[in-house]
Amino acid sequence: MAVIERTCIGCRTRRRRDDLIRLQVVGNVVVPGGAHTPGRSAYLCPSRACWDAALRRKAFARAFRMPVKVDPTLWERLQGDHVSAPRLVSGTGRAAIDGSRAGRDE
């Protein structure tokens, strides 16, 4: 039985795909990936450290090969969501990771 491996975008470790959290991009917003949803995916260990590393290194943009927005609270939602049906996330327009000081008025 073939073991499908994917690389975590946070720590770059290859692991069984079943052990990784799948992420997808809809429009340009990163959302939890469904098990059989088509499209480009990124994979992450179920570890907060990997999530933080991926955010810091802008690994999402690299994985999806386009500028993407990542809601910093997505990780918390993933904890409850990634085993169930994916939900489209709305209202995350401000949560870009490119600015180091999001949400600050000049």
Q: What residue ranges bind Zn ion (CB under 5 A)?
A: 8, 10-11, 45, 50
Q: Which parts of 1-106 fold into alpha helices (H)? A: 48-56, 59-64, 74-81
Least distance (Å) between residue 51 CB and Zn ion: 9
Angular region, 27: left φ>0, alpha ψ -120 to 50, beta rest: left
Longest dimension (CA), the chain: 57
Closer residue to Zn ion (CB): 30 or 50: 50
Least distance (Å) between residue 4 CB and Zn ion: 16
**Count helices and strands in the chain by DSSP H and E runs:** 3, 5
Closer residue to Zn ion (CB): 56 or 94: 56
Closer residue to Zn ion (CB): 8 or 25: 8
Least distance (Å) between residue 58 CB and Zn ion: 16
